[in-house]
Amino acid sequence: MITPEEAAKKPLPAPDGDTQTFWKGMREGRLLLQHCRRCGHVQYYQQQLCRHCGGGDLVHEAACGRGTVYSFSVVYRAPGPAFKDDVPYAVLLVELAEGPRMISTYTGGPVEDVTFDMAVELVFEEVSAEIALPRFRRV
Ligand SMILES: [Zn+2]
């Protein structure tokens, strides 16, 4: 059971063994993608194995931060009390320049500005001492 106090706070990521490198990168202003040294596949989010070839030789490299809006949806009804001041907001499916697609949210302007194929760039939003979240704004 979630208390009203808990419901009023936004949930935060809890870095674990698989994701702590990713979240450390976010704190340092870098979106880390995994590159497979065997097949060249680039993936987001972090896993132990390449999702293309199953290889385990993955290295982290920072994304350039550029991408395009592959799809999006505008949220008008807050999913909980913690988000009531945010609506309306746009949830983006961004295709990164490196290939992977990631879900994030739009920042830096009204949701009416968001269009398909719009060029966007990554920004980092500090939400706690440990966590910075990736968001995207129009280029
Ligand atoms: Zn691979």
**What confidence score (pLDDT) does residue 120 get?**
98
Could you tell me the distance, in angstroms and rounded to a whole number, from the CA of residue 99 to the centre of ligand 1?
Answer: 14
pLDDT in tens, 100-130: 999 999 999 999 999 999 999 999 999 998 9
User: What is the DSSP-derived secondary structure letter of residue 105?
Assistant: E
Could you tell me the distance, in angstroms and rounded to a whole number, from the CA of residue 27 to the centre of ligand 1?
Answer: 27
Could you tell me the distance, in angstroms and rounded to a whole number, from the CA of residue 13 to the centre of ligand 1?
Answer: 27
Q: Return all residues near 70 (Cβ < 8 A) that are at least 6 apart.
A: 93, 94, 95, 101, 116
Domains identified in the chain and CATH numbers: 16-62 (no CATH), 65-139 (2.40.50.840)
pTM of the model: 0.91
Could you give the 3-state DSSP secondary structure of residue 79? Answer: coil
Could you tell me the distance, in angstroms and rounded to a whole number, from the CA of residue 48 to the centre of ligand 1?
Answer: 11
Could you tell me the distance, in angstroms and rounded to a whole number, from the CA of residue 89 to the centre of ligand 1?
Answer: 35
